[in-house]
Amino acid sequence: MKFGKHFERQKVPEWTEANVDYNGLMGILREIVRYKQQSKQTAPPSRALSLYRSFSGLIKLPRGPTSNGDIEDQVIDVNLSRHEGSRPHYRTDFLRQSEEGGDIETKFFEKLDDDLNKVNAFYKAKVDEVMNERDLLNKLMDALIALRIKVRKPHLDGSKLNTDGISVTNKEPSTSNDSTRANNAGNYSRKVNECREDPLNILENVKIYNARESPMSMLRGVLKDSKDVHLSFNKAELREVENRLRRVFIEFYQKLHLLKHYSFMNLSAFAKILKKYEKITSRRVLRSYMETVESSHIGNSDEISALMERVEAIFVKYFANSDRKKGIKSLRPKTKKEKHRVTFFSGFFSGCSVALVAAVVLRIQTRNLMEKPEGAIYMDNVFPFFFGYVILHMLMYAANIYFWRRYKINYPFLFGFKKGTELGYRDVFLLATGLAVLALVGFLANLSLDLGSRIHHYKTFTQLVPLVVVTVVLFIIFCPFDIIYRLSRFFFLRCIFRCICAPLYKVTMPNSILADNLTSQVSAFRCIELYICYYCLGEYSERQRCHSHGAYDVFYFVAGVIPFWMIFLQCLRSLWEDRDAKHAFNCLKYFVTIVAVLMRTVSELRSREVWIVLGLVSSSLVVIMNTFWDVVVDWGLLRRHSRNSYLRDRLLVPHKSVYFAALVLDIVLRIAWMQLVLEFSLPALQEMAASTTLSCLEIVRRGIWNFFRLENEQVNNVGQYRAFKSVPHPFSYCDDDDDDGDDNDDADDDHPDKEK
């Protein structure tokens, strides 16, 4: 693989613009090559003169050092200028500019200097950030060890402890136990107050930072109107602090790893581009310029490497019980590798699904099911039981992952997946096709048994087929064993739970995106209610009888409103935390949507002209508001002063027509959503087909929305160089002049973006 492609793949996506512009430099080198080729074609033949001058020694051959130094010293001269209070600035003088084509080579070195200055400035700023966080981690570790001693040995007199300091900045790990580490906490105490002798007194200036990550912590924060609570010195508190500080260390280590990787890749880019320059021009500049690069900030990553070793030692000792293998596994999770068996079974299940679909169609045709009244009733009531909407949504998600990867959208970071546990598009496709096979087998079995004239005594078993399919699916989802992507299943269940418990949980990107996707599954939500009626009330295959129960109609309203209500509560939580008018408009949008859904449901159940008119008016307003929000806010398009007309400045998809097509398609499918309100005098089967088609189109629209929503989020992260998750710290300090507790306010978010 060429280095240019390797460099593009290995770059931190959010730091793309802070890297060496390797492609731009290669473009200038191509200009040099074209110029040399044109010069050879237009130059008159002068072979004899060239031979004579070379023989007579009139021209020095660029080989080896001269008596006055290397020949490369006569090609470039790299200067460093550093004004007081400003960053170092590198400038290269090209000493052969007077030669033909020298202006192009001068342009090359000017751009090379610009990239070097850019990379150095960015790297220095990031190193300063992690060094500041390193100092804070020292305080956090001092407080943690003091808390451990206070909880485990509450009667210990800290004034009798030794005070040999240990900190994250030390190069050699300590072998002391927790008691000795608590003794060492006195370092920070003496810095604050020279008269302080007891290192455990650091806990007097520490409070537990309440990040409001759980419903109880959120309610406590609201009632007490404070994010900080005093220490209670119990084991549960210690366990919570250890878990949160463990997450802080893991994220800090990932920052160091990204910085080291950033340094290595950009150093490699400078070396590779200079080698190509030497090969094209036969001028030796690599050594002198790389000496300058390696002496700059980007070339000095020893401090980061030493800090990584120290973090590893501390993490292994205090968070992995000195088990290095376990600790390193947590700090350095392996990248997920594609497995051949996933591809094999995906293809196998896909083939089985196609065969089963053909079998179902043939079975329906041979029984003339569509021509019989009972056939229409059967399809209307039994077909929704078999996860058709869920399977389509999973297929759209698999397509989303494929295109996110193709266009370098860092979806694992945006969703907050643990590294190495995220599902690839092949994994999701495998799950979708596997569920399709299970659903189609159940549907075909139910279809064959329910309509067979000779096997009416199997009626009870036939009616249990959908329930068996659902039971198997639920067992897989909640299975506690480490099979079938357990971490991903539990992550999904946790997000579902937090959506249901809104607004008690903080709004994060995965919760927000999931709630938005649930709004496209209203038909599936109502199928759950049909399951309850089908089995609990004994109304087998008779949806009309379900409507005779008043409770059914009530829950029919509730099932349609639930997903929109969850997002509405999330918006209220965001509005309460951020005090942003944008969240207020979003709350209004979803409130109007809830009203529109209620109006539509009434018009569907009552079929009166007044309700239909109200449903159309409210739905029209919702379509306008939601379309505007999709395009302008969620996708970030239709910018007036953008470099790309009516789009936005940064686009990850190279073809602009894709954005305009998606915009038009979103509007069309939003309008199609309104058609469910209109009353068509269609036969029952055709009405069900129209309703199913529109529901599937809404799922397709949501899949398109997902791609551009995350693309816009990725663009925002790239614009602000956000490549790290903000993890709330467990402690805040009440006596520091710098008010370290304020740092926790910036770390209050679990994710870089929590906007709806």
Q: Distance between CA atoms of 567 and 580, rounded to whole angstroms?
A: 16
> Has residue 450 been placed in a domain?
yes
Of the candidates 133, 49, 43, 16, the one whose C-alpha atom is nearest the C-alpha of residue 740 is 133
Average pLDDT over residues 1-24: 87
pLDDT given at position 539:
52
Could you tell me the pLDDT band of residue 55, with boundaries at 50, 70 and 90?
Answer: very low
Q: Where are the alpha helices (DSSP H) in 416-454?
A: 425-450
Residue 542 to residues 240, 375, 389, 531, Cα–Cα distance (Å)? 52, 12, 21, 11
Q: Distance between CA atoms of 215 and 503, rounded to whole angstroms?
A: 8
> Has residue 436 been placed in a domain?
yes
Q: Distance between CA atoms of 510 and 43, rounded to whole angstroms?
A: 64
Of the candidates 565, 489, 487, 568, the one whose C-alpha atom is nearest the C-alpha of residue 525 is 565
Average pLDDT over residues 3-22: 88
Most confident of 81-95, 171-185, 723-737: 81-95
pLDDT given at position 394:
95
**Three-class DSSP category at 687:** helix
Q: Which of 330-339, 406-415, 509-518 has the lowest mean pLDDT?
A: 330-339
500-529 confidence digits (pLDDT tens): 998 888 889 999 999 999 999 888 887 777
Average pLDDT over residues 179-186: 45
Strands (E) located in 7-88: 76-81
Most confident of 345-354, 377-386, 445-454: 345-354
Q: Which of 495-499, 545-549, 684-688 has the lowest mean pLDDT?
A: 545-549
Question: Is beta strand 206-209 parallel, antiparallel or unpaired with respect to 228-230?
Answer: antiparallel
- Whether residue 203 is predicted with pLDDT greater than 60 in this model: the reply is yes
Domain limits for position 614: 340-723
- Whether residue 183 is predicted with pLDDT greater than 70 in this model: the reply is no
Side chain identity at residue 40, one-letter code: K
**Three-class DSSP category at 682:** coil
648 vs 686, higher pLDDT: 648
- Whether residue 602 is predicted with pLDDT greater than 80 in this model: the reply is yes
**Three-class DSSP category at 77:** strand
pLDDT given at position 515:
94
Q: What percentage of the chain carries pLDDT values higher than 70?
A: 76
Q: Distance between CA atoms of 520 and 83, rounded to whole angstroms?
A: 59
Q: What percentage of the chain carries pLDDT values higher than 90?
A: 35
Q: Are 612 and 678 in contact (CB under 8 A)?
A: yes
Q: Which of 317-331, 361-375, 676-690 has the lowest mean pLDDT?
A: 676-690
pLDDT given at position 395:
95
Interaxial angle between packed helices 509-518 and 486-500, expressed in degrees from 0 to 180 and rounded to the nearest 10:
80
Q: Which of 563-572, 677-686, 715-724 has the lowest mean pLDDT?
A: 677-686
> Has residue 526 been placed in a domain?
yes
Q: Are 518 and 397 in contact (CB under 8 A)?
A: no
**Cis peptide, bond prior to residue 503, ω within 30 of zero:** yes
- Whether residue 627 is predicted with pLDDT greater than 80 in this model: the reply is yes
Residue 189, C-beta contacts closer than 8 angstroms, at least 6 positions apart: 142, 196, 198, 199, 201, 202
pLDDT given at position 693:
85
Angle among Cα 642, 645, 651 to the nearest 5 degrees reads 70
Residue 537, C-beta contacts closer than 8 angstroms, at least 6 positions apart: 546, 549
Mean pLDDT of all residues in the chain? 79
Q: Which of 61-65, 139-143, 256-260 has the lowest mean pLDDT?
A: 61-65
pLDDT given at position 726:
75
> Has residue 29 been placed in a domain?
no
Average pLDDT over residues 688-700: 85
- Whether residue 222 is predicted with pLDDT greater than 80 in this model: the reply is no
Q: Are 436 and 345 in contact (CB under 8 A)?
A: no
Average pLDDT over residues 484-505: 92
Of the candidates 216, 726, 215, 222, the one whose C-alpha atom is nearest the C-alpha of residue 506 is 215
> Has residue 88 been placed in a domain?
no
pLDDT given at position 363:
85
> Has residue 209 been placed in a domain?
no
DSSP conformational letter for 604: H
Q: Distance between CA atoms of 299 and 123, rounded to whole angstroms?
A: 10
Radius of gyration of the chain (CA): 33
Residue 654, C-beta contacts closer than 8 angstroms, at least 6 positions apart: none
Q: Distance between CA atoms of 568 and 422, rounded to whole angstroms?
A: 28
DSSP conformational letter for 19: S
Most confident of 115-119, 416-420, 687-691, 715-719: 115-119
State the SS3 of 481-525.
CCCCCHHHHHHHHHHHHHHHCCCCCCCCHHHHHHHHHHHHHHHHH
262-290 confidence digits (pLDDT tens): 999 999 999 999 999 999 988 888 888 99
- Whether residue 603 is predicted with pLDDT greater than 70 in this model: the reply is yes
Question: Is beta strand 731-733 parallel, antiparallel or unpaired with respect to 89-94?
Answer: unpaired
363 vs 437, higher pLDDT: 437
**How many domains, the chain?**
1
How many other C-beta atoms can be found within 10 angstroms of the C-beta atom of residue 328? 14
pLDDT given at position 735:
52
Could you tell me the pLDDT band of residue 119, with boundaries at 50, 70 and 90?
Answer: very high
**Three-class DSSP category at 152:** helix
- Whether residue 493 is predicted with pLDDT greater than 70 in this model: the reply is yes
- Whether residue 542 is predicted with pLDDT greater than 60 in this model: the reply is no
> Has residue 72 been placed in a domain?
no
Residue 84 to residues 117, 124, 127, 144, Cα–Cα distance (Å)? 17, 17, 20, 41
- Both tokens of 49, joined, read 């003169």
- Whether residue 380 is predicted with pLDDT greater than 70 in this model: the reply is no
> Has residue 411 been placed in a domain?
yes
pLDDT given at position 491:
94
| Residues in a beta bridge with 93 | 77
Question: Is beta strand 228-230 parallel, antiparallel or unpaired with respect to 731-733?
Answer: unpaired
pLDDT given at position 175:
41
Could you tell me the pLDDT band of residue 159, with boundaries at 50, 70 and 90?
Answer: low
Q: Distance between CA atoms of 100 and 40, rounded to whole angstroms?
A: 12
Could you tell me the pLDDT band of residue 559, with boundaries at 50, 70 and 90?
Answer: confident
